[in-house]
Amino acid sequence: MDRQRKEGGAAARRNLFEGIPEELPEELMTILATGNGVTIERIVSKGQASPEGFWYDQETHEWVLVVQGEARLRFEGEEEIHLRAGDHLLIPARARHRVTWTPEDRETIWVAVHFS
Amino acid sequence: MDRQRKEGGAAARRNLFEGIPEELPEELMTILATGNGVTIERIVSKGQASPEGFWYDQETHEWVLVVQGEARLRFEGEEEIHLRAGDHLLIPARARHRVTWTPEDRETIWVAVHFS
């Protein structure tokens, strides 16, 4: 059956679509892997967006991929970008940006890789 | 329309499912982003597997996610692991492993993050 469970540690397989609660009052962040200055995380959104007037301003680069769902993201001074499943982009360090919309009726699943 | 094209550089959105040729005699590797000791790449497989007796033995860690399709992967001395869409795992540096199977009739799309 599920032999992988027996292998443990190194080869521990997990699934991106598992472990998501029905209700998501806040975005769910799950670290998937970390290394030397690198963090790979799953973000699950369901209707959340950045607060009005709030801009992310991060010290590290962030590569994001929308695996499921969709979202709208805006860099300061630029047009909104609509992201759909499979869309990915690099948010450079210090590029001020905000998430302006995610759908309320289904989960949007992101993979984000933070690196310097 | 597609305003993102005008924004260029930083905010260049791309899609993981685009730019895949119909025929894939070899695996297709596309670098999506790179940084300080980090490489994020897309791998598209269609029937490829590691040659008999060949083991990957990498100096860096590799986190892999199967976004579409499926694959079988084996670490030396361990049972085969069947990966389906959404499955992800960490392949630690120096963990000898091989891909034993990917389906021939459809594309398997991986995201791989190499880091130290």
Query: Is ipTM over 0.95?
Result: no
**Contact by Cβ (8 Å): B41, B114:** yes
Q: Looking at the predicted structure, is the pLDDT value of residue B10 above 80? A: no
* Minimal CA separation from B74 to chain A, in Å: 9
Domain assignment present for B86: yes
Strands A80-84 and A14-15: unpaired
Domain assignment present for A1: no
Q: Looking at the predicted structure, is the pLDDT value of residue B46 above 60? A: yes
Of B10, B15, B84, the CB nearest to A87: B15
Is residue A8 very low, low, confident or very high in pLDDT (cuts 50, 70, 90)?
very low
- CATH code of the domain containing A64: 2.60.120.10
**Contacts B4 to A, Cβ<8 Å:** 79, 81
Q: Where are the beta strands (DSSP E) in chain B?
A: 14-15, 28-35, 38-45, 61-68, 70-75, 80-84, 87-91, 97-101, 108-115
Which residue segment(s) compose the domain that A44 sits in?
A: 26-115
Domain assignment present for B12: no
Domain assignment present for B32: yes
pLDDT tens figures, A48-102: 999 999 999 999 999 999 999 999 999 999 999 999 999 999 999 999 999 999 9
Domain assignment present for B33: yes
Top-confidence residue, A3 or A12: A12
Domain assignment present for B13: no
In chain A, residues 41-60 whose CB comes closer than 8 Å to chain B: none
Domain assignment present for B20: no
pTM given for the model: 0.90
Count of structural domains within chain A: 1
Is residue A11 very low, low, confident or very high in pLDDT (cuts 50, 70, 90)?
low
**Contact by Cβ (8 Å): A37, A74:** no
